[in-house]
Amino acid sequence: MILITVSARLAFQPELKLLPGGGSVCEFRLLDTRFAKGEEHVEAVTFFCYDALAEEFCEKCEKGQLIEAGGHQETQRYIPNGSQEERTVVKYRMAWFKPGPRPRGQGGDAKAPPQPQRNEAPASRRAQQQERSRPSGASTQRRDESSKDGFF
């Protein structure tokens, strides 16, 4: 039996599929990149899981999220319709997983806080700037009246 442990990003949003005989299955790919001889290479591993584990995985994980998963290899051989060549597919039956950080900018946990408008300073900083720009001895009432026109 070949066991594997992988830490990589989820290639697409996991989807729960119902089986005709009852139960459910989730098949997903984990992707990672490596550099060799100055070129980038993408590595992919296909996992699948059934029933309660499949449901939990689909609920907790999203596309682009870092995932750690472990399982054992299963090899399937088949002959496609209209072909005489035998094909081999290698997949891994997931035994456990641990979701990591969610991707940035897609509504995950790592979402950046909203930024203030470019031409608008935050209220506290604006008040500090106004205090510094007011000449000493100037009345607050006069400044408030002139601000109605948009001038300070």
Give the tens place of pLDDT for each residue, 70-80: 999 999 998 98
pTM of the model: 0.62
Provide the pLDDT confidence category of residue 10 given band limits of 50, 70 and 90. Answer: very high
N-terminal to C-terminal alpha carbon distance within the chain? 78
- The segment with the largest mean pLDDT, out of 9-18, 73-82, 112-121, is 9-18
**What does residue 18 show for φ and ψ, rounded to 5 degrees?**
-85, 140
In the prediction, which pLDDT does 137 show? 53
CATH class as words, domain 3-99: mainly beta
What is 51-119 written as a DSSP string?
A: HHHHHHHHHH--TT-EEEEEEEEEEEEE--TT----EEEEEEEEEEEEE-PPPTTTTSTTPPPPPPPTT
> What Cα–Cα distance (Å) separates residue 1 from each residue in 73, 92, 93, 138?
7, 11, 12, 84
Give the tens place of pLDDT for each residue, 42-96: 999 999 999 999 999 999 999 999 999 999 999 999 898 888 899 999 999 999 9
**Domain range summary for the chain, segments of one domain joined by +:** 3-99
> What Cα–Cα distance (Å) separates residue 65 from each residue in 6, 97, 102, 116?
13, 12, 5, 28
CA distance 50 to 30: 17
